[in-house]
Amino acid sequence: MKKIFNKTVWWFLSSFFAIMFTILLVGDSFIKEYETQINYALHIEPYQKITSENTNTEYFKSPFKKEDGSYDDIAMRNNSMQVSREANSEASVLLWNRNNSLPLKESSKISFFGVQSNQKNYLYTGNGSGKVAVTTTDFPSLKETFEKENKYQVNQKLWNFYQNKSGSSMHNPSVGPDGKQDNHYKEFNVNEASWSELNTTEIANSISEYNTAVMVISRNGSEDGDTWFDTDECLEKNYLDLSYNEKSVLDSLDAMREEGKISNLVLLLNTGTPMQMKNISKYQHIDSCLWVGMGGNASFNGIYDVVSGKANPSGRLVDTYLYDNDSAPSVENTGAYQFEKYGDLPQESRSSNAYNHAYIVYQEGIYVGYRYFETRYEDCILNLGNANSASGAKNSAMNWDYSKEVYYPFGYGLSYTQFEYTDYNVTKNGDKYRASLKVTNTGDVAGKDVVQIYLQKPYTEYDKQNKIEKASVELVGYAKTDLLAPGKSQTVVIDIDEYEFKSYDSYNKKTYILEKGDYYLSFGKNAHDALNNILAQKGKSASSGMDYDGNKNFAKKFNYKDDDFVKYSKSKTNVQVTNQFDNADLNLYEGTSDQKITYLSRNDWKNTYPKKVELNALNATMDKD
C-alpha cells in the first residue's frame, strides 16, 4: 500500500490555511469598519431606496393636524380640557348622600364657604413637577361655572369676602416630626377664616337668603411636601383633621341646617390624602359629602357636572378612611428618623441632606392600608392571632374593633342610582381565571358601577413557620360598566392570571411559591364587602361578630392539593427569581444582633404590633457601607 502522508505537503497546506484564516479575521473586521468608504470607491450601492406617492409613513396620526401640516392648538387644548373634565367627574367619590342632597335641584341658591373655594387658592394638583399654577384669569371660577347655565345663583357677598383671603400655605419648619434638623418636611397652614370673621350683619343676612351651603376643605401633601404630622392649627394637632376655624364654620352651618335656616349642607373634599374622620363624622346635618380630589385644570367643570347631575359619580376610594389616622400601623415608624448614635460614621454623612443620614423601619411589612384592616378584621371574626387585643386600637373603647377604627373601606363609593348584582361565576382554564357578574341599574337615573374582584390566599402553617405574611383580601381585578340606563344590564368580565396566587418566601425558598390550600375569588362593592362574602362562604354571619351578613354566592373557592415551589421561581426569561437585597433587612444585616426588628405578623397581632424603633450606626459594616 502507498504511503499518502507527506510532511512537506502537509506543512505547506497547514501554513496556507492558517494565513488565509488570519486574513479573513482581520479583513472582515477591516471591511466592516470601512464599509462605506469601500462601497464608495468601488461604486457599490448597498441598498436601494424605493419611494411611492401612495406610501404614508405617518403611523400615529393626530386628529388635530390641519391641511397645511400645522396643528390646531386650540382644538388640542379644548380636547385636553374635556378629557380632564370627564376624568374629574368619573373619579369623584360620593361618600354619603342623605335625603338625595345631590344632585342639586335647579334654581338652588348657593353659598360657597371656605378660602379654598377661591380659584387662586384651590388645590388643582399636588406640588412638585406636575403642579398647576393658576391665576384668576386662567379658568372660570366656581361661581362663574355654577352660574353659566343659569341653573344656580351664587351668594355674591360671601363670594366677595373669600376673594380677599389667602388659602393654605406651606413653609419649611427646619426640623422634622422627631424634633431633629431636616430640610425635607414642610409644615402646612390651613389659613381658614373663622365663623366670627364672616359673621358680619351683611354676610349673615345673605347666608339666610341662600338655601344651600357648600363647604370646600382642602389638604395638600405630595412630592417635596411630605405632610406634617403635628400642627396647633388643627384638632387633635393633626393636619388631616379639621382646623379650629373650619370647625367653627361647620358648627354654625350644622346648627343652621338643624334649625332649618338652610335646607342643604354639602361638603367637598379637595384633598390628595385621606382626611381623618373622627371629628367630621360627628356632624349629623351635613347632607352629602363628595371627595373631588385634585382634578387639574378642569376641576371646577368636573365638580359642576357631578353636583348638578350632568354626571353621575362612579369613583371609588383608593384609601381606607379612618376615624383616627394613627390607627394605621405604618404610622408608628413614619418619619425621617436619624441614627441616635453614629460611631465612626463620617461627619458629612450625618447632615439632613446626606443620602444615608436617616432610616425608616417598615415593621408593618405588607400590612399597609386595607391589607391591614381587613386582615385583622377577619382574624377577629375567626378568633385568630390575638386580633381582638388592644394593640393598635386607637379609636376603639378597649379591644381592637374594626367598626370603631374604619370609617370607609378601600374601594367604597356611592352613586345617584342603585345597582343589583346577579349571576356571579368564576371559571378556570389552565392558568387563567375568568370572573363574570351581571350588573343591573335598578334606580331612576343612568349611571356607571365598578366591579371589583378580590383574592384570598390560604394562610398556612408553612407561612407561620417561615414568616410569610398574607392579607385576607387583595384586589386582583376591576372594571367599570358602560353608562347604564334605568333597567338596563351588563355582564362584566374580568380575567385573573394564576400568577396573582403566588406568594414570596423570603427566608426559606427565597423565591415565589404557590401553596396548597383554599383560594377565594370574591366580588364585593369594596374590599370589606368582598371579605364579608368570603366569610359567609366559610359559614360565618353577623352572629359570629361580623358587622353585617355577607353573600356566599359572591365568593368562589378553588382548592390546590399540592405545593408548587418551582412554577413561579423563574422569570419569563428563565432567570431565577431570588433575594437581592437581604442586607436591607436589619435582621439579616451583618453584626446587628443587638438591633433586631419585630415585624408585624397576623400570627400574633398583640405581640408584634409596631413600636417606634431607634437605631444606632455603631456597626463596622454600617460604617463601611
**DSSP class per residue in 62-101:** -TTB-TTS-B-HHHHHHHHHHHHHHHHHHH-EEEEEGGG-
State which residues form the domain around 382.
329-407+581-624
CA distance 227 to 223: 10
Q: Within this chain, do residues 308 and 174 fall inside the same structural domain, yes or no?
A: yes
* 546-603 confidence digits (pLDDT tens): 999 999 999 999 999 999 999 999 999 999 999 998 888 888 877 666 788 999 999 9
Whether the pLDDT of residue 70 is over 70: the answer is yes
Angstrom CA distances, 557 to 362, 386, 407, 520, 522, stand at 32, 26, 29, 5, 9
pLDDT computed for residue 344 by the predictor: 64
Cβ(150)–Cβ(201) below 8 Å: no
Q: Within this chain, do residues 438 and 496 fall inside the same structural domain, yes or no?
A: yes
Whether the pLDDT of residue 416 is over 50: the answer is yes
Angstrom CA distances, 621 to 346, 355, 588, stand at 13, 17, 12
What is the mean predicted confidence (pLDDT) over 463-472? 98
Q: Within this chain, do residues 300 and 180 fall inside the same structural domain, yes or no?
A: yes
> What is the CATH classification number for the domain harbouring 297?
3.40.50.1700
Q: Strands 432-441, 511-513: parallel, antiparallel or unpaired by DSSP?
A: unpaired
Residue 1: inside a domain: no
What is the mean predicted confidence (pLDDT) over 426-454? 98
- Ranking 25-39, 128-142, 269-283, 379-393 by mean pLDDT, the lowest is 25-39
Q: Tell me which DSSP letter residue 122 carries.
A: S
- Whole-number average pLDDT of the chain: 88
For residue 264, the surrounding DSSP H or E stretch is: strand 264-271
Cβ contacts of residue 387 below 8 Å, gap of 6+?
Answer: 376, 377, 379, 380, 400, 602, 605
CA distance 371 to 477: 16
* Cα 119 → chain centroid: 26
Closest CA to 230 of 189, 169, 269, 274: 189
Residue 68: inside a domain: no
pLDDT computed for residue 48 by the predictor: 65
Between helices 370-381 and 527-537, what is the axis angle to 10°? 30
What is the mean predicted confidence (pLDDT) over 240-267? 97
What is the mean predicted confidence (pLDDT) over 457-486? 99
What is the mean predicted confidence (pLDDT) over 425-447? 98
Beta bridge partners of 453: 477, 523
- Ranking 75-89, 131-145, 388-402, 504-518 by mean pLDDT, the lowest is 131-145
- Domain limit, last residue, from 258, 282, 313: 313
pLDDT computed for residue 113 by the predictor: 98
pLDDT computed for residue 583 by the predictor: 80
> What is the CATH classification number for the domain harbouring 541?
2.60.40.10
CA distance 392 to 376: 11
State the burial class of residue 328 (Cβ atoms within 10 Å of its Cβ: 0-12, 13-18, 19+): buried
What is the mean predicted confidence (pLDDT) over 326-340? 86
Q: Within this chain, do residues 553 and 428 fall inside the same structural domain, yes or no?
A: yes
Dihedral Cα 277, 279, 283, 288, nearest 10 deg = -30
Q: Is the dihedral of CA 61, 62, 63, 69 positive or negative?
A: negative
Residue 590: inside a domain: yes
User: Would you place residue 63 in the very low, low, confident or very high pLDDT band (cuts 50, 70, 90)?
Assistant: confident
Give the CA diameter of the chain: 132
Closest CA to 108 of 251, 262, 254, 255: 262
pLDDT computed for residue 154 by the predictor: 98
What is the mean predicted confidence (pLDDT) over 259-273? 96
Q: Within this chain, do residues 504 and 427 fall inside the same structural domain, yes or no?
A: yes
Cβ(186)–Cβ(170) below 8 Å: yes
What is the mean predicted confidence (pLDDT) over 259-265? 97
* Domains: count for the chain: 4
Q: Strands 358-359, 337-338: parallel, antiparallel or unpaired by DSSP?
A: antiparallel
pLDDT computed for residue 342 by the predictor: 66
Whether the pLDDT of residue 181 is over 50: the answer is yes
Q: Within this chain, do residues 15 and 122 fall inside the same structural domain, yes or no?
A: no
pLDDT computed for residue 189 by the predictor: 82
User: Would you place residue 348 in the very low, low, confident or very high pLDDT band (cuts 50, 70, 90)?
Assistant: low
What is the mean predicted confidence (pLDDT) over 414-433? 98
Q: Within this chain, do residues 141 and 285 fall inside the same structural domain, yes or no?
A: yes
The DSSP code sequence of 171-210 is E--SB-TTSSB-SSB-EEE--PPPHHHH--HHHHHHHHT-
CA distance 121 to 451: 36
User: Would you place residue 31 in the very low, low, confident or very high pLDDT band (cuts 50, 70, 90)?
Assistant: low
- Domain limit, last residue, from 313, 340, 372: 313
CA distance 158 to 156: 6
CA distance 477 to 446: 24
Q: Within this chain, do residues 360 and 446 fall inside the same structural domain, yes or no?
A: no
Residue 570: inside a domain: no
Residue 523: inside a domain: yes
Q: Within this chain, do residues 168 and 207 fall inside the same structural domain, yes or no?
A: yes
Residue 571: inside a domain: no
Whether the pLDDT of residue 1 is over 50: the answer is no
What is the mean predicted confidence (pLDDT) over 108-118? 96
- Ranking 29-33, 94-98, 249-253 by mean pLDDT, the lowest is 29-33
Q: Within this chain, do residues 542 and 423 fall inside the same structural domain, yes or no?
A: yes
Whether the pLDDT of residue 321 is over 80: the answer is yes
Residue 58: inside a domain: no
Whether the pLDDT of residue 520 is over 50: the answer is yes
Cβ(218)–Cβ(294) below 8 Å: no
The DSSP code sequence of 267-335 is EEEEESSPPP-TTGGG-S---EEEE----GGGHHHHHHHHHHTSS------SS-EESSGGGSGGGGG-S
Q: Within this chain, do residues 460 and 555 fall inside the same structural domain, yes or no?
A: yes
User: Would you place residue 137 in the very low, low, confident or very high pLDDT band (cuts 50, 70, 90)?
Assistant: low
CA distance 490 to 468: 39
Q: Within this chain, do residues 394 and 463 fall inside the same structural domain, yes or no?
A: no
Whether the pLDDT of residue 34 is over 60: the answer is yes
pLDDT computed for residue 505 by the predictor: 98
- Domain limit, last residue, from 560, 589, 611: 560
Residue 353: inside a domain: yes
